[in-house]
């Protein structure tokens, strides 16, 4: 099993099951001691803002704020630069601990030795 996991989530409220799966896998991996880098792209970009995860609901799924906090506690969460710009989100707007970075950083993380990348 890879010791590092990069997860790119492209879905938000537009595809709630896919979104929840990505956050759940990220949180479980982080809780298992795997180094996790979760990338918020597309509609998931909104979850970089305070309070937005609390608005997400999916029956029989763990609360998104809990999953987000779990990943932030031991891993890294990155908001896509272009996705942020298209939504007028800046570094001063995001949850503490969330960084904004672009494709170059995503590619660099994904291609590093011992990394498994997943896209949801």
Report how far residue 1's alpha carbon sits from residue 44's, in angstroms, rounded to the nearest whole number. 27
| Cα 21 off chain centre by | 11
> The domain that contains 30 carries what CATH number?
3.40.1260.10
Note the pLDDT of residue 92: 98
Determine the structural domain holding residue 15 and report its residue range.
4-119
Q: How far apart are CA 106 and CA 10, in angstroms?
A: 13
Hunting for tokens 């890879």 — which residue is that?
2
The Cα–Cα gap between 115 and 4 comes to: 5
- pLDDT recorded at residue 2: 55
Q: How confident is the model at residue 73 (pLDDT cuts 50, 70, 90)?
A: very high
Q: How confident is the model at residue 3 (pLDDT cuts 50, 70, 90)?
A: confident
3-state secondary structure at position 78 = strand
Q: Is the pLDDT of residue 64 over 70?
A: yes
Task: Report the C-alpha gap between 32 and 106 in whole angstroms.
Answer: 22
What's the number of domains the chain is made of?
A: 1
- State the alpha helices, DSSP H only, in 7-102: 16-31, 64-74, 81-86
């Amino acid at each position: 099993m890879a010791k590092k996991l990069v997860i790119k989530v492209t879905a938000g409220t537009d595809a709630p099951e896919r979104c929840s799966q990505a956050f759940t896998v990220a949180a479980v991996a982080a809780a298992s001691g795997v180094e996790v880098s979760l990338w918020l792209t597309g509609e998931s970009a909104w979850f970089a803002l305070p309070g937005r995860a609390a608005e997400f609901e999916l029956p029989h799924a763990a609360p998104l704020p809990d999953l987000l906090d779990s990943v932030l506690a031991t891993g890294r969460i990155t908001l896509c630069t272009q996705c942020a710009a298209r939504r007028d989100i800046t570094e001063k707007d995001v949850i503490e601990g969330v960084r904004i970075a672009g494709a170059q950083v995503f590619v660099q993380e994904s291609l590093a030795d011992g990394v498994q990348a997943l896209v949801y």
